Structure 1
Amino acid sequence: MKTDVEELTPTRVKLTVEVPFDELKPNLDKAYKEISQQVRIKGFRPGKVPAPLIDKYVGRGAVLQEAVNDALPELYGRAVEETEIFVLGQPEVEVTELQDGDKFAFTAEVDIRPKFEVPEYDGLEVVVDTAEVTDEQVEETLGNLRERFASLTTVEREAQDGDFATIDLAARIDGEEIADATTTGYSYEVGSKSSIEGLDDALVGMKAGESKTFTSKLAGGEHAGEDAEITVTVQSVKVKDLPAADDEFAQMASEFDTVDELREDVRTRLGRQVRLQQLSDARDKALEALLEKVDIPLPEKVVEEEISRRNQQLEQQLAMAGMTKEQYLADEEKDEEAFEQEVADAARLAVKGGFVLDQLAVQEELGVENEELSEYVVTQAMQMGVAPQQLAQYLTENNQLPAIVSEVLRNKALNLIVEHVTIKDEAGNEIDAEAVRRELNGETGETVEAAAEDAVEEAQEIADAAADAADADEADAKAAQEANAQADAAADAEDKAEGVEGKKDA
């Protein structure tokens, strides 16, 4: 087999492959066998029809086409392997020559990852927020805990901002009641502005038993965006009573005897959160700093698919939250054009980041150890709330293990970058990321380890197979990255639908 590579652009190539006809013999034999099972010719049982009769009644051309279709995937794979290109997505294949008994040739155009070397990243400096926990943050967290234990008490007065009103809502358009905009017994916090526009203004000053009608646009349903006459009826008005921040509350809401001990625990937990955030920010900023040093072309098709993936994800989340895209953009105070540009920029940055991490993994000859893969499966399973063996089985049955190997390799590459950059907080203090990581892991290591010991045993066999495949050689690792490069390029990028869930009652 002879393969020539023509570079159409820095991110797209055309493979021209010539194959001696003899190499198609196994595929021709297979084609004759399969067609023989399908045709019905008097005097011959299915599967026993001779090749000459198939040529006569079905046609040699049909047999050749069947053989070519069967051979193309393997021949294309061999061509990619021989030329050592990093392909992205599916190729556009065209059979250019098929001479029976003589020669077979085809071309394949496909996007490729651009060829480049990751520049030196030693000495990069990033600045993250100072890991400071203020008294205000502690009290705010304690207040949120008190909110969870609050009770509602009915009052005989007009509703005010901050009260909770139990209400009935009815909407009418041209006198016809709108079923999906009507509800009863709805508990609503007055002044929260989390429902129909105008509802808060209507409720202030109303007592139990009173009704009021106002005009507003419906936020969802079949008549979303249309003006309707909204009638609100107050069933009751209640005030929220928060428990006092004292020792009795600490004993009721926690394992501590005093509120001072509870406050100290809150401060410790907040401290852990801000330090974890420091590490997360350091990772993001370290990659951003490295990307600024890299200038590479990006395959437009890959970028377009990433943009499409992000838009589909946003649509799904908005649908779950009961919001339209127009409502979301209004809440974010963005117009359509600016939002689309923001998504496109983030997609390009994410694709570029994926390429850089993949190349760094190749340059540094990073591999995936068995324990690393097992830890990843266990961690993901714990975050998803499923059994690790169940997740491992799902990944295997859906051929997702190469994608997991790629994700672990990218994480290792990013960790390597972080190890070589200088991290400082806003006060100029240098931060030892590995020391912080060890300290934080030490606080929860026993819990994670115990869970892992119980779960990994059943998932180990699957994890072993994938890890062994990843470690087989550099080509295997490269292939695993290739399988996930396009679909997973932006796994850690900013989620453009952040905050949608919190607006689902809008």
Structure 2
Amino acid sequence: MKSAVETLNPTRVRLTVEVPFEELKDSLDAAYKKINQQVTVKGFRKGKIPARVIDQRFGRGAVLEEAVNDALPKFYTDAVNEAAINPLGQPEVDITELKDGETLNFTAEVDVRPAIEIPDYSGIEVEVDAVEVSDEDVEKSVDQLRSRFASTSPVERAAADGDVVTIDLEAKVDGEILEDGVANGVSYTIGSGELLDGIDEAVTGLEAGGEATFTSQLKGGSAEGKDAEVSVKVTQVASRELPELDDDFAQMASEFDTLDELKADSRKRLENMKQYDQATQAQERVLEKLLELVEVPIPEKLLEDEVNTRKHNLEHHQLGQMGLTLDKYLEIQGKTAEEFDAETKEQAVKGIKTQFVLDELVSKEKLNVSQEELTEHLMRRAASSGMSPDQFAQAVVEGGQVPMLVGEVARGKALATVVEAATVKDTDGEVVDLSEDEDEVEQATEAAAAATGETEGDAEAKPEA
């Protein structure tokens, strides 16, 4: 077999392949055998029909087509390996010449990973939010804990802000009661904002047995987004009593003996959360700076496929689970179809560019993924998916997704390497040291995965004639 490669542009090549006919022998034998099992000819046992009879009855062309389709993947793969290219997606194959008994010539055009030059990234500088926990932040955190231990008791008076009311609801659109627009015995805390707009004003001042009607835009259900006439009846009013903020509360609500210890723990937890957010912010901003430094040609077909994949996943998975159509989603978001398409394309370009750049960094920095790092990442992915680690691992192996997970961790390590080399300062001008963070690589892996989105890895496709 002879092959040659022609560069059509930085992201696409054309392979020209010449195959001597004798190299089709195994595929021709397999074609005759396959056809033998599929057809019957009077006078011959099934599977024992001579090749010449198959040629006469069904045509040599059908045999050649079957043989070529069987052989093309191997010839294509051999040509790819010989040319030392990294194909992306499926090739467009064109058989340019097929002479029975003489030769098979074909071309295969395919997108390839572009050559990327990673510049010196040690000069990257970014600014992130400072880690600041105020006394108000601590008080808010303690108040949230306190509210979880609140008690309620029925009262015979008009409902007021902060009270818990038990209500019956009925929603009408265009005068018709919605099938999913009736709810009884709903518990609602006035002022929480957890139900419909306008309900606070409607129930405030009502006693048990009181009724009111108001108009509100529905936030979910079959008529989501539409204005509905909502009738509400209060069946009970209960006052909400918070426990005293003292050492007794600390002992009841936590493992601490004093309120001061509880507040100190709350402050520490808030600091840890903000440090985590700060590290994520640093990784995202360093990645943005890195992408600005690198020129990356984007393969057109890969971009088209990525855009279509993102649209499909949004429309048929995410929105489908919420009972929304794409048109309804765009209406809620206040976006036109053109704006949505432009945003999706922009996100797809960033995702592809991120993957290409970080993969090149993995190669340049010779980064490897240890079994321990892969296992830790798998555990986290399992937790986020709601599956047990064993279930998730089995699904990954059966789906052939292990290389994908390895790639995610490797890209995370590449991003962590750039972050460590960059200068990160907070808004107070203080240098932020992220190297001591034990979760640095996993955080970077999550940041890189968020940037790449649903980007497909480069995989050799098996062509057919």
TM-score (norm 1): 0.80
Q: Which moved more, 1:385-394 or 1:416-425?
A: 385-394
Note the C-alpha offset of 1:175.
4.7
CA distance in 2, matches of 1:494, 1:260: 44
| Structure 1 counterpart SS, 2:280 | helix
Q: Contact 1:351–1:489 at 8 Å: present in 2 too?
A: no
Matched to 2:430, the amino acid is N
Q: Contact 1:220–1:323 at 8 Å: present in 2 too?
A: no
1:181-220 map, 5 Å: 181-220=181-220
Q: Residues 229 and 45 from structure 1, CA distance in 2 versus in 1: closer, same or farther, beyond 3 angstroms?
A: same
Are 2:16 and 1:10 aligned?
Answer: no
CA distance in 2, matches of 1:360, 1:9: 23
1:439-450 map, 5 Å: none
| % identical equivalent positions | 50
Matched to 2:11, the amino acid is T
Note the C-alpha offset of 1:292.
0.9
Q: Residues 143 and 493 from structure 1, CA distance in 2 versus in 1: closer, same or farther, beyond 3 angstroms?
A: farther
**Residue in 2 that maps onto 1:303:** 303
Q: Residues 301 and 48 from structure 1, CA distance in 2 versus in 1: closer, same or farther, beyond 3 angstroms?
A: same
**Residue in 2 that maps onto 1:250:** 250
Matched to 1:83, the amino acid is A
Q: Contact 1:354–1:489 at 8 Å: present in 2 too?
A: no
**Residue in 1 that maps onto 2:390:** 389
CA distance in 2, matches of 1:130, 1:270: 13
Name the one with the larger helix percent: 1
Q: Contact 2:284–2:447 at 8 Å: present in 1 too?
A: no
1:42-441 map, 5 Å: 42-173=42-173, 175-315=175-315, 316-321=317-322, 337-435=338-436, 437-438=437-438
| Structure 2 counterpart SS, 1:433 | coil
Q: Contact 2:415–2:448 at 8 Å: present in 1 too?
A: no
Q: Residues 220 and 166 from structure 1, CA distance in 2 versus in 1: closer, same or farther, beyond 3 angstroms?
A: same
Q: Residues 373 and 34 from structure 1, CA distance in 2 versus in 1: closer, same or farther, beyond 3 angstroms?
A: same
Q: Contact 1:245–1:259 at 8 Å: present in 2 too?
A: yes
RMSD: 2.9
Matched to 1:307, the amino acid is V
Q: Residues 45 and 183 from structure 1, CA distance in 2 versus in 1: closer, same or farther, beyond 3 angstroms?
A: same
Matched to 1:268, the amino acid is K
CA distance in 1, matches of 2:222, 2:388: 40
CA distance in 2, matches of 1:335, 1:38: 53
> Which digits, 9 at most, give the CA deviation of each residue in 1:107-133, with x for residues without a partner?
222222221211111222222221222
Q: Residues 166 and 322 from structure 1, CA distance in 2 versus in 1: closer, same or farther, beyond 3 angstroms?
A: farther
Matched to 1:116, the amino acid is I
> Which digits, 9 at most, give the CA deviation of each residue in 1:314-364, with x for residues without a partner?
444444456666776677666665454334323222221111001111222
CA distance in 2, matches of 1:109, 1:205: 73
Q: Residues 222 and 373 from structure 1, CA distance in 2 versus in 1: closer, same or farther, beyond 3 angstroms?
A: closer
Q: Contact 1:353–1:489 at 8 Å: present in 2 too?
A: no
**Residue in 2 that maps onto 1:493:** 451
Q: Residues 180 and 107 from structure 1, CA distance in 2 versus in 1: closer, same or farther, beyond 3 angstroms?
A: same
CA distance in 2, matches of 1:85, 1:249: 67
CA distance in 2, matches of 1:490, 1:48: 58
| Structure 2 counterpart SS, 1:286 | helix
CA distance in 1, matches of 2:189, 2:318: 25
CA distance in 2, matches of 1:110, 1:136: 59
> Which digits, 9 at most, give the CA deviation of each residue in 1:28-87, with x for residues without a partner?
111111111122223433333222222222221111111111112222222222222222
Q: Which moved more, 1:99-108 or 1:313-322?
A: 313-322
CA distance in 2, matches of 1:251, 1:329: 49
Note the C-alpha offset of 1:147.
2.1
Q: Contact 1:247–1:258 at 8 Å: present in 2 too?
A: yes
CA distance in 2, matches of 1:299, 1:172: 51
CA distance in 2, matches of 1:308, 1:234: 49
Q: Contact 1:373–1:408 at 8 Å: present in 2 too?
A: yes
Q: Residues 128 and 214 from structure 1, CA distance in 2 versus in 1: closer, same or farther, beyond 3 angstroms?
A: closer
| Structure 1 counterpart SS, 2:293 | coil
> Which digits, 9 at most, give the CA deviation of each residue in 1:404-461, with x for residues without a partner?
12112211211221221122222222222212x14x79xxxxxxxxxxxxxxxxxxxx
Q: Contact 1:347–1:490 at 8 Å: present in 2 too?
A: no
Matched to 1:368, the amino acid is V
Matched to 1:399, the amino acid is G
| Structure 1 counterpart SS, 2:188 | strand
Structure 2: gaps (5+ residues): 441-445, 455-465
Q: Residues 318 and 160 from structure 1, CA distance in 2 versus in 1: closer, same or farther, beyond 3 angstroms?
A: farther
Q: Contact 2:352–2:452 at 8 Å: present in 1 too?
A: no
Q: Contact 2:159–2:204 at 8 Å: present in 1 too?
A: yes
| Structure 1 counterpart SS, 2:435 | helix
Structure 1: gaps (5+ residues): 442-487, 497-506
Q: Residues 6 and 137 from structure 1, CA distance in 2 versus in 1: closer, same or farther, beyond 3 angstroms?
A: same
CA distance in 2, matches of 1:328, 1:205: 36
Q: Contact 2:411–2:448 at 8 Å: present in 1 too?
A: no
Q: Residues 176 and 379 from structure 1, CA distance in 2 versus in 1: closer, same or farther, beyond 3 angstroms?
A: closer
Matched to 1:264, the amino acid is A
